[in-house]
Amino acid sequence: MPLDLATIRAAHERIRPFIKRTPVLTSERLDAACGGSLFFKCENFQEAGAFKSRGACNAVFSLTDAEASSGVVTHSSGNHAAALARAAQLRGITAHIIMPAGAPESKVRNVGSYGGWITFCEPNLAAREAACAQVAARTGATIVHPFDDLRVAAGQGTAAVELLEDEPALDVILCPVGGGGLLCGTAVAAKALRPGVKVIGVEPALADDVAQSFHAKHRISIPTPATIADGLRTNCTGEKNFPIILESVDDVVTVSETGIVAAMRAIWETLHIVVEPSAAVPYAAIMEGKLSAQGRRIGIILTGGNVDLDKLPWVKS
């Protein structure tokens, strides 16, 4: 399946009954601090609490009845897991979810609330993929990869379509990058709708596999990252996603852990909304001066709001 504007628009039509059209928020205070105009696409308000509902619904509702009959399976630290469990519940099929030990309790509860069958594994990519393959072999379930699936990427790209419909004159779009599904979907949609827009991926410096790969022009794998941004703890960008990222993305920059926490807190305090660390990563790039916002109109995708409120990073235990 190609990933182009037509497939992203088709995905948008397919998933429209099952997702929210999330708002775009602005802040005079944050604009004054950076010298530009910031537009926050609030996917923290999305169904299941994150943008992942877009890709999961597109993948699940793209399946034939025969494919769907055996259910779906994935591995995920949380947001894709909950999104896939919800999409499967909506279609009336089983979702098998492989989650790493130590996944945030809020995200585990989220998966359970949608009826996902959870299996825990060691917190590394090899263990996750092995467990996923075992479940698929045993049950016949269709694997819906959390990011390296172009049906998923097409669904994720619908957030950028909505953002540019609401704010068509953007100069830059920033989004977090882990495995690259959101980034490649965003880039394809944005470049087709507004060819002059810059699309920049942002990731934690402790999880910089995409930044390393982007600048080296080949995929680089890293040890399991220890970043606070649990949704971005990938070891290597997706094989299907990477060529699209190289072709359509303008840059990938990294931010510090302290920058992520500061950005998360600034968003909570200024926009008065709950976002998780992964969602704060793009704004951290502005706060840390990784790109100039001066005089520019910048769209920022706030990817999710599933936070363990008992473990906020600025609260000392």
Report all structural domains of the chain as residue ranges with CATH numbers, in order of start: 5-50+150-308 (3.40.50.1100), 53-143 (3.40.50.1100)
**pLDDT, averaged across the chain:** 95
Residue 223 makes CB contacts below 8 A (sequence gap 6+) with 235
Q: DSSP label at 224?
A: P
pLDDT, mean of residues 105-126: 88
Amino acid at 130: A
pLDDT, mean of residues 92-100: 95
Minimal CA–CA distance to 308: which of 228, 232, 234, 233? 228
Residue-level pLDDT at 96: 97
Percentage, residues of the chain above pLDDT 90: 85
More confident site: 175 or 103:
175
pLDDT, mean of residues 249-274: 98
Amino acid at 46: Q
Indicate yes or no: pTM above 0.85.
yes
Minimal CA–CA distance to 191: which of 141, 244, 230, 144? 244
